[in-house]
Amino acid sequence: DYDGAVEFLKKVPFGAAVYVAVAGDGKYQGSILTRNETGLVVPVQHLKDNWYAVETNHDNWLPDPPTDPRRSRAEECIARHGQKDGDVATFGVVVDCISERPVLNDGTIYTAVMSPRNGELWGRVRYDAAEAVDPEASSVKDILL
């Protein structure tokens, strides 16, 4: 269940610092967890005051760095689509917004969207991403293959 998943992800040891987006199939069942290897860095941010949340590789309580506007651009895309019938962003809206540049950038290697409501899963693996960032990174590309 959603609450159990959030509690588990708050406490389980991780191998690295990470942002975890958790969604349930009920209204306002959405949270962003900001983690390090041993636990939470900040309290869980529950989705109660907004109908969507966006997380990138930067702390979401700080403004986007000028060199990486992905979060603000994703928020603009979601706002452009708008909220439909009081529901959260649809699966198609999320896929559309994360597929737009600069949200999708040359360093994006793997992207996934999952729906707890209907079990839908969409994923994209970019085998050329390592070369786009560093043309000499053929070993990274080989690992991804």
Please report whether residue 35 resides in a domain: yes
Both structure tokens of 57: 């590789």
Answer whether 0.75 is exceeded by the pTM. Answer: no
Distance (Å, rounded) from C-alpha 64 to C-alpha 58? Answer: 7
Distance (Å, rounded) from C-alpha 87 to C-alpha 22? Answer: 17
- What are the C-alpha distances in Å from 37 to residues 3, 13, 14, 15, 86? 21, 6, 5, 6, 36
| String of DSSP letters for 100-120 | STTTS-TT--EEEEE-TTT--
Please report whether residue 145 resides in a domain: no
Q: Does position 66 have pLDDT exceeding 90, yes or no?
A: yes
7 is in which domain, residue-wise?
Answer: 1-49
Tens of pLDDT, residues 78-107:
888 877 655 556 778 888 898 888 998 877
Please report whether residue 116 resides in a domain: no
Please report whether residue 20 resides in a domain: yes
Give the per-residue pLDDT at 122: 84
Give the per-residue pLDDT at 38: 92
Q: Does position 132 have pLDDT exceeding 70, yes or no?
A: no
Please report whether residue 30 resides in a domain: yes
Please report whether residue 41 resides in a domain: yes
Residue of 142 and 74 predicted with greater confidence: 74
Please report whether residue 113 resides in a domain: no
Q: Does position 131 have pLDDT exceeding 80, yes or no?
A: no
Please report whether residue 7 resides in a domain: yes
Domain count along the chain:
1
Give the per-residue pLDDT at 90: 77
